[in-house]
Amino acid sequence: MHLTHLRVHDFRNLATVELTPNPRFNVLVGANGQGKTNALASIYWLATLRTLRARRLREVVRWGEKASRVDGRVHRDGLEHRLGVALLDGQRVSFREEKRARTSDYFGVLEVVVFTPDDVGLVRGTPEARRHYLDRAIFTGRPAHLADVLAYRRALDGRNRLLREQAPDSLLEAFELALAGAAARLVAVRHDYVERLAERFERACAAIAGPELGARLGYRPSLPLDGAAPVESMAAAWAADRGRDRERGFTQRGPHADDLTFKLGERAARFYASQGQQRAMVLALKIAEIEALEAVAGHAPVLLLDDVSSELDPERTERLFDFLEGFAGQVFITTTDRAFLRIKGEQTVWRVHAGVVARQE
């Protein structure tokens, strides 16, 4: 699977871009602020229908314009597919095979894994950032996960509203049972995904930093879970929390308060790991994510690497490029200087300046 053609119109600072990407390495070179990251973000938008950095959909439209569109052709399993996504009048519209498509019918053609400078701080960052990473990674291989996340958020907002309104226990009890159903599905998928990552993560971490590091990956729920009756155990926990939650006006425990954990032996890596060890763990996590997606999809995803060589130390950078040399899929990687990249495989270099992307001969 790889992207064979990309057309971008009025996306962020990119006015008009049209590329025929290399099926292996695509190196986007340019100074900071010229549009390299926006080019990667346009591919991410095309693949996931989600923004990479923008907080609001309106931010994907180039300044002064009213609409934006990204189109791509994808070669997959011997067939060529056409995808498109536009923002028109503030509304996202998706297209598959040149016909408007519902979100549920859009996915299954293009999977991407993205690695940005922000990811390097994941180990020491906030639980919210780790949950966001986890849900994003799951969504890449299981688009239905987004519906599970949104269903839980809607139910959680409902319980919080009832708490603030001091609704009677009988109403909260009924609502908590429905909330527990959405929560149990979300936690089960997250837990299963982390289990599939864990062994791959440990193996990659040992290769990058040595087996003596003893790095481990886990999922820490904030609610007690009875594997035989997860819905009932969650509902019972919320019933026990009801008094304290009423005082605070929000639900304290649940999937929205869970965490993805990194450990060195039995110690929390966020407190005890050095900067180099944290970077090794994040790199190992990305490699594990790629391998897990390959195992499910049966082929390599498209990799989007945003200036990661500037964030990794020389040893981790060397490990990353060792991995990329053996990676069979398509890669888009940004840099301010080609000298930072030790890519030996087939590649096309694209020069990015002031929102213009041109092939460099």
Structure tokens at 323: 């991995």
CATH number of 124-282: 1.20.1050.90
Structure tokens at 308: 């990661």
The pLDDT of residue 212 is 83
Pick the most confident of 121-135, 201-215, 320-334: 121-135
pLDDT band, very low/low/confident/very high, at 318 (cuts 50, 70, 90): confident
Which residue, among 247, 232, 246, 241, has the nearest Cα to 178 in the 3D structure?
232
Residue 190, pLDDT above cutoff 90: yes
Give residue-wise pLDDT tens across range 7-26: 999 999 999 999 999 999 99
Neighbours of 65 (CB within 10 A): 12
Q: What single-letter DSSP state applies at residue 77?
A: T
Share of the chain above pLDDT 70, in %: 100
Domain definitions of the chain by residue range: 124-282
d(CA 133, CA 232): 28
Segment 46-72 shows an average pLDDT of 90
pTM for the predicted model, two decimal places: 0.90
* Amino acid sitting at position 257: A
Paired sense of beta strands 67-76 and 356-360, if any: unpaired
Segment 276-282 shows an average pLDDT of 89
